[in-house]
A = this chain, B = another copy of it.
């Protein structure tokens, strides 16, 4: 059983904000939102983000330099992350597909590299934007 990770104060504050958000949040936007709680410096945000990523509570959307809460219960250690990103409205969803993860985690490089982890970002138009 995965034990519930005990987070420090700053880590919990940052996680709460990311979990409440409807989309990916940028580090400095998180910062502006927590200044009333006494967090004043980027370092404090980045340290919390680093930890939250490490324990799989959040993920970084690399193409956007933004952070989302993990919505896939089984990535305590995120070695297989995939996201869909709408190029129009910028909505981001975590893609959680067993077949996809399996396929990619067992994928073998021709160069003899052993993969431990992957991150996949799909781009396109979401259902809503496709119609418009």
Contact = CB atoms under 8 A, between A and B. Distances in A.
B124 A112 contact: no
Interface residues of A, number: 32
A63 B125 CA distance: 23
Given A63-B62, A95-B109, A124 B116 contact: yes
Interface in A58-110: 62-63, 84, 86-87, 93, 95, 97, 100, 103-104, 107, 109-110
Nearest to A126: B113
A94 to B, nearest CB: 10
A130 B112 CA distance: 9
A118 interface: yes
Of A113, A117, A120, most B-chain CB atoms within 10 Å: A113
